[in-house]
Structure 1
Amino acid sequence: MVKDQKRWRLLKDLKKGKFCFLIGVDDWSIELQKSEFNSLYLLLLRINEQLLVIKDELMDEESITLELEQLPWYIHLEGKKNEWSLRFVFESQDQTRSFEMYWPIPIAQNLFYEIKNMWESMD
């Protein structure tokens, strides 16, 4: 399964082995294990739920910042109610690798929905 847009990529290839998911934005990409992708998906759902709780109370031009941490992930959402960016920090529990990702506006919203669709379509 491949989603390839102008500024981002989302790929799933379970035949690839350990690192079977790829997320890329602009000039970088990272491969994730299925368990890492699953934990990212669950954290994205949680931060989206937090946003939905406060969204109706926000004015269009009002700035927001939301943070969530659930190891191995830390997520930072910043923007306005209808346009926001996401920054991620991943600290490997196996101490094998750590990385950071940044999804700018409007890529963050697009990738969030595509990751949600990809995960929900898997067996």
Structure 2
Amino acid sequence: MERLIKSGAGWRIGWNPHASEFQGLVGTDDWAIELTSTELDDFCRLLAKLADTMKQLTTELMDEEKIACEAESDLLWMEVEGYPHEYTLRFILNSGRCAEGQWAAFAVPGLLQAAATLKVF
């Protein structure tokens, strides 16, 4: 498998299995950070978990109710905030480089779809 970068409006995510230390990449049009394979795996897993949680809450919330949900691993912390059908995403990398980033609500669906198909986890 060769280097793969997927991108859309307000997001990008990448995988390079041949890189020595940082095989993953996440970012927006304005910033990006390289991640280790394990960090990228956690990012994709936690993102899917948060998206599932938001989907499950759709029937339990009133239309105008906003919610925030968090998920965490040893390597990173993530939070979605907004409505079950439209929410922002934030993450903080807890290890090594210590970085944080955020995606606007319009960018999250594309990022979520790309993360799910980036590589086999």
TM class by smaller structure: 0.7 to 0.9
**1:4 to 1:53, Cα distance in 2 relative to 1, 3 A:** closer
CA distance in 1, matches of 2:24, 2:31: 14
Is the Cα contact below 8 Å between 1:21 and 1:34 reproduced in 2? Answer: yes
TM-score, normalised with respect to structure 1: 0.84
Percent identity among equivalent residues?
30
Letter matched to residue 115 of structure 2: I
Match of 2:21 in 1: 18
For structure 1, which runs of at least 5 residues remain unmatched after alignment?
none
For structure 2, which runs of at least 5 residues remain unmatched after alignment?
none
CA distance in 1, matches of 2:99, 2:68: 21
Structure 1 runs of 4+ with >3 Å offset: none
**1:89 to 1:53, Cα distance in 2 relative to 1, 3 A:** same
| Coordinate RMSD, CA, aligned | 1.7
State the structure with bigger RCO (CA 8 A, min sep 6), 1 or 2: 2
The 5 A counterparts of 1:5-84 are 5-84=8-87
More helix per residue: 1 or 2?
1
